[in-house]
Amino acid sequence: AQDLLVKSEKLLAVGELAAGVAHEIRNPLTAVKGFVQLLSSSTSEKQTLYHEIIESELDRIEKIISEMLLLAKPQPVQYRPVDLNENIAEVVRLLRAQANMQNVSIVTRCDGDIPKVMAVDNHLKQVFINIVKNAIEAMPHGGALTVSLTNIENTVFVRFSDEGVGITEKIRHKIGDPFVTTKEKGTGLGLLVSKRIIANHNGALEISSNSGEGTTVTISLPVSFEASPLD
């Protein structure tokens, strides 16, 4: 029965991932389509810019697919010591173009030495990508996203604070449930998958927000723990 439960949870996770993949890829694909259409009718200066955007969006799609495939692999995963500074720098690099296009500045802060945490590097990246994307999407008129790292007694806290629209009281308790989204093109799966990944790491994901006052997502991760070989 234990095996069956694990198996059905895995199937569910794969289904969620499939939807997640579609969601994550639709945005850059829409951008590529739009700029391809614009290409023929624009000046050569604009064309160079459009080519660059198209190329970076295609890179993004490629990266997302390879990371999603890693995540969907039904094999035992390897927990290894992960440098969160490096992991987050890579995530920020991936999303920098999207942030710039929306006048969002991303600042990373590090409070003292951050020990490596036992984690699945790509899974954590996927979580951070989801959260940074949500923050960017919450600031359609620009703003700042601050990502800070702190270590308190062998628990590392990763805090994402944005200046976006915030979350209204009406739906606050439902956020993170499957398919709960306030976005026209959202799936409401990002936080669900993120919470599951963080739970597999024996960590926690908390959201605090007031409508109009920005949102803070705090993830805590133990530096070490006994990982289950099954997730």
Please report the beta strands in 42-174, taking only residues with DSSP state E, as ranges in sequence order. Answer: 80-82, 104-111, 117-119, 143-152, 155-162
Question: Could you tell me the two tokens for 210?
Answer: 């007031």
Q: Are 167 and 176 within 8 A, CB to CB?
A: no
Site for ligand ADP in 101-130 (CB under 6 A): 130
CB closer to Mg ion out of 134 and 151: 134
* Selected range binding Mg ion among 5-13, 60-68, 133-141, 165-173, rule: CB under 5 A: 133-141
Q: Of the candidates 141, 145, 121, which has an alpha carbon nearest to the alpha carbon of residue 132?
A: 145
Q: Which does 182 bind (CB under 5 to 8 A by kind): Mg ion, ligand ADP, none?
A: ligand ADP
Site for ligand ADP in 186-205 (CB under 6 A): 186-192
Q: Give the residue carrying structure tokens 């802060």.
A: 109
Q: Does 161 bind ligand ADP (CB under 6 A)?
A: no
Q: Does 215 bind ligand ADP (CB under 6 A)?
A: yes
| Measured distance CA(161)–CA(145) in Å, rounded | 6
- Exactly one of 161, 164, 197, 198 binds ligand ADP (CB under 6 A); that residue is 164
Q: Which residues bind Mg ion (CB under 5 A)?
A: 134, 190
